[in-house]
């Protein structure tokens, strides 16, 4: 398999995407083609043997070959004509906006580019924390109580303190605050509204157990990762998650009863099928008083959650062979237009 990794883009999580992409070089043995999208949404072909974080922070990548996208894939201009960049499948590794909100998915679908990642509908639902809550409830997965606050019309908080504030459309714990009492609320809201015009409020439950489960649906059924219990303090802040995105070593499995493991997997399946077909996702769950609650869906998890799998590369290759097939439109006959013209004598 020859895999093209698309990363970067216009996002608050731009740097995290770079870290994730570089981590893949340590994990995958297959041939990798690196396609970087900069903050101006220009694409560049990055030499695999020269990819470093400094290449992007220094702007050195601007000397690399610039690419453009059209029907069938990515292309580079030549002195005479153009050449297509060859790969078997694209891996969407853009975190946050552009990658997880559906823009790159729509682009790949529009230009008939095969890709591993969430489709447009899945991206729209999982990128917006409110939509995620509504979707989870619709498929029978529990969520914690929540309240939506909008910047232009803030309401009184109805959820008892302590609470946790989350920008509605952002990941990697950016802009998140734990608010213990009312006196801390104003500052926390200012921070959250710096990143989004809407904020989700949830109760903050001290000591609640959190578990991460990743997986994908292949031609032979579901393939699950191990279940991880992330080590954290109050919550995984940005710095801890930033380190998370560069992880390449397999982590230890959580100690859970078979009943609890089965409950987490059942919730994962309910969320995944069929919305997330073609993607490797990670779902973060809470277990509180023996009840499973969804915390969030990560449609493009950090480093693709490689550290949760025994054979990550085989999983990716299997997923590349199990991508959903879109509806193929037959050639246009223009029968309707011809019939109108015929009726009008034209």
Cis? peptide before 174, omega within 30° of 0: no
| Sequence ranges of the chain with CATH classification 3.30.470.20 | 124-143+206-320
Quote the CA–CA distance of 121 and 297 in Å, as a whole number.
14
What integer pLDDT is reported at residue 45 of this predicted model?
A: 98
Distance of CA 189 to the CA centre of its chain: 25
Residue 254, helix vs strand vs coil: coil
Quote the CA–CA distance of 256 and 233 in Å, as a whole number.
20
* Low-confidence stretches of the chain (pLDDT beneath 50): 238, 242
Could you tell me the maximum CA-CA distance found in the chain, to the nearest angstrom?
Answer: 77
| Sequence ranges of the chain with CATH classification 3.30.1490.20 | 147-203
CB-based burial of residue 49 (10 Å sphere; 0-12 exposed, 13-18 middle, 19+ buried)? exposed
257: its two tokens: 């009863």
Which uninterrupted H or E stretch holds 287? strand 281-288
The one-character DSSP state at 50 is G
CATH code linked to domain 124-143+206-320: 3.30.470.20
CATH code linked to domain 147-203: 3.30.1490.20
| Sequence ranges of the chain with CATH classification 3.40.50.20 | 2-116
Quote the CA–CA distance of 186 and 345 in Å, as a whole number.
71
Cβ contact 313:29 at 8 Å: yes
What integer pLDDT is reported at residue 242 of this predicted model?
A: 47
CATH code linked to domain 2-116: 3.40.50.20
Helices first, then strands: H and E counts in the chain: 10, 17
Quote the CA–CA distance of 151 and 345 in Å, as a whole number.
59
Quote the CA–CA distance of 175 and 165 in Å, as a whole number.
8
Question: What pTM, to 2 d.p., does this model score?
Answer: 0.90
Quote the CA–CA distance of 316 and 329 in Å, as a whole number.
28
Q: How many CB atoms lie within 10 A of CB 191?
A: 15
């Amino acid at each position: 398999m020859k895999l093209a990794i698309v990363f970067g883009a216009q996002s608050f999580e731009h740097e995290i995407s770079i870290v994730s992409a570089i981590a893949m070089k340590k994990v995958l043995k297959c041939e990798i083609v690196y396609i970087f999208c900069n903050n101006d949404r220009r694409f560049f072909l990055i030499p695999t043997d020269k990819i470093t974080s400094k290449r992007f922070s220094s702007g050195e990548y601007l000397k690399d070959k610039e690419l453009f996208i059209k029907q069938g894939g990515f292309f580079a201009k030549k002195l005479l004509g153009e050449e297509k960049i060859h790969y078997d499948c694209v891996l969407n590794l853009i975190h946050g906006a552009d990658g997880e909100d559906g823009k790159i998915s729509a682009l790949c679908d529009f230009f008939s580019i095969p890709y591993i990642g969430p489709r447009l509908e899945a991206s729209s639902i999982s990128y917006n924390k409110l939509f995620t809550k509504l979707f989870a409830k619709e498929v029978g997965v529990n969520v914690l109580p929540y309240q939506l606050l909008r910047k232009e019309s803030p309401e009184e908080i109805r959820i008892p303190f302590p609470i946790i504030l989350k920008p509605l459309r952002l990941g990697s714990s950016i802009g998140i605050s734990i608010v213990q009492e009312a006196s801390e609320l104003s500052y926390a809201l200012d921070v959250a509204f710096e990143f989004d015009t809407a904020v989700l409020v949830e109760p903050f439950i001290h000591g609640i157990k959190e578990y991460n489960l990743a997986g994908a649906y292949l031609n032979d059924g579901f393939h699950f990762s191990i279940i991880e219990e992330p080590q954290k303090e109050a919550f995984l802040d940005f710095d801890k998650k930033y380190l998370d995105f560069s992880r390449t070593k397999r982590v230890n499995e959580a100690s859970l009863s078979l009943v609890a493991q089965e409950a987490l997997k059942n919730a994962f399946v309910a969320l995944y099928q069929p919305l997330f077909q073609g993607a490797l996702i990670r779902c973060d769950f809470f277990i509180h008083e023996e009840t499973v609650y969804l915390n969030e869906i990560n449609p493009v998890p950090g480093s693709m959650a490689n550290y949760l799998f025994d054979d990550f590369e085989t999983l990716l290759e299997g997923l590349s062979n199990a991508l959903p097939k879109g509806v193929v439109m037959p050639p246009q006959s223009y029968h309707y237009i011809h019939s109108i013209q015929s009726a009008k004598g034209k």
